[in-house]
Amino acid sequence: MVKRSFLLLTFVILSLMLPKINFAQFRLNDTKINLVLNSKTTIYWAKYSSHDKNFNWDGGIKVWLDILESNHTYLYFFGDIETIIKRSNNVSKFDPQKVHYTLKPGLKLKSKWANLEIIWDHHCKHDVDRFDGVTEKWNVLATEFSKAKQLKGVMSIDGQFLFGKIVEKNDVDYDWEIIIGFDIYSFEKKLFPFCTANLRTVITDGSRSTRNHFFDYTFEAGVKQHVGYGFLVGYIQFLHLNDTDHCGGKIQNMGKLGVRFELK
């Protein structure tokens, strides 16, 4: 866990230092391949509105890095490390409860009709101060389709559909994963100058031995303001989570109020 977290943080720091340029070009069987090294980083911090003492604060870093590009096809890597902080004796203090990190290499094919991605998604939920040697881990081999639709003068809609097979797992009994999501950006110039309203819902279905399926979903709305080298975003989320802990986790309905900085 420590080694992987260190490698992920090193990756984050290096990505922040990379310029967004075509770093180099080479050819393979007459196919031009660009080493692009384009990065996008998001740093976030949020407060839960939950009666569960295990959900108090939430913070983390997400990094997207395009590595290679050829004929509108991109090889990329995504990394995310998140810390969930609990509340002890009704007192808010820095007391990490769980560290959840995601490592996701993928291949994206872009076209004027839609985007297609082939993804290997590794998840690990590490419980802080838990010494029984049990860590929830699972890998997903998935295909994702996404398409953006511009509605003239009103809004832009970006939809995603992901279908994945759980191919390796530890302390979880997942089999399949389905995610449906969409982003809506409306009235970007009319409602708020330099701001954007965001709406997202995600539905996840995974078969498991204790129940045939379950659903998790989130709803997010916020405003985005251009500042310096990126965007400052204020957002509010509603989360319905069936799987807050591990296989037998209880259902949680929580709100989250947070800010994030998107460096592009």
Q: Is residue 120 part of a domain?
A: yes
Instruction: Please tell me whether residues 187 and 253 are part of one structural domain.
Output: yes
Instruction: Please tell me whether residues 105 and 164 are part of one structural domain.
Output: no
Asked whether the predicted pLDDT for residue 196 surpasses 60, the reply is no
Q: Which of 133, 167, 183 is the last residue of a domain?
A: 133
Instruction: Please tell me whether residues 166 and 208 are part of one structural domain.
Output: yes
Q: Is residue 262 part of a domain?
A: no
pLDDT 10s digits, 58-79: 888 888 888 888 888 889 999 8
Instruction: Please tell me whether residues 244 and 166 are part of one structural domain.
Output: yes
Q: Is residue 122 part of a domain?
A: yes
Q: Is residue 202 part of a domain?
A: yes
- Where are the extended beta strands (E) located within 113-214? 115-127, 136-151, 155-170, 176-186, 200-205
Residue 19 exposed, middle or buried by CB count within 10 Å (0-12, 13-18, 19+): exposed
Q: Is residue 184 part of a domain?
A: yes
pTM, rounded to two decimals: 0.75
Instruction: Please tell me whether residues 229 and 170 are part of one structural domain.
Output: yes
Q: Is residue 263 part of a domain?
A: no
3-state SS assignment for residue 2 = helix
Q: Which of 101, 133, 165 is the last residue of a domain?
A: 133
Number of domains the chain is built from: 2
Q: Which of 102, 133, 164 is the last residue of a domain?
A: 133
| Residue 214, C-beta contacts closer than 8 angstroms, at least 6 positions apart | 204, 205, 206, 208, 242, 243
Instruction: Please tell me whether residues 124 and 250 are part of one structural domain.
Output: no
Instruction: Please tell me whether residues 173 and 248 are part of one structural domain.
Output: yes
Instruction: Please tell me whether residues 157 and 128 are part of one structural domain.
Output: no
| Mean of per-residue pLDDT scores for the chain | 73
Asked whether the predicted pLDDT for residue 13 surpasses 80, the reply is no
pLDDT 10s digits, 70-111: 888 889 999 888 888 776 665 555 556 678 888 899 999 988
Instruction: Please tell me whether residues 127 and 176 are part of one structural domain.
Output: no
pLDDT 10s digits, 134-168: 677 888 899 999 887 766 656 677 788 888 888 87
**168 close to 139: Cβ distance less than 8 angstroms:** yes
Asked whether the predicted pLDDT for residue 33 surpasses 80, the reply is no
pLDDT band at 209 (very low <50, low <70, confident <90, very high): very low
Q: Is residue 142 part of a domain?
A: no
**196 close to 185: Cβ distance less than 8 angstroms:** yes
Q: Is residue 138 part of a domain?
A: no
Instruction: Please tell me whether residues 126 and 253 are part of one structural domain.
Output: no
Instruction: Please tell me whether residues 28 and 65 are part of one structural domain.
Output: yes
**235 close to 228: Cβ distance less than 8 angstroms:** no
For residue 190, the model assigns a pLDDT of: 47
For residue 55, the model assigns a pLDDT of: 78
Domain that holds residue 112: 1-133
Instruction: Please tell me whether residues 6 and 129 are part of one structural domain.
Output: yes
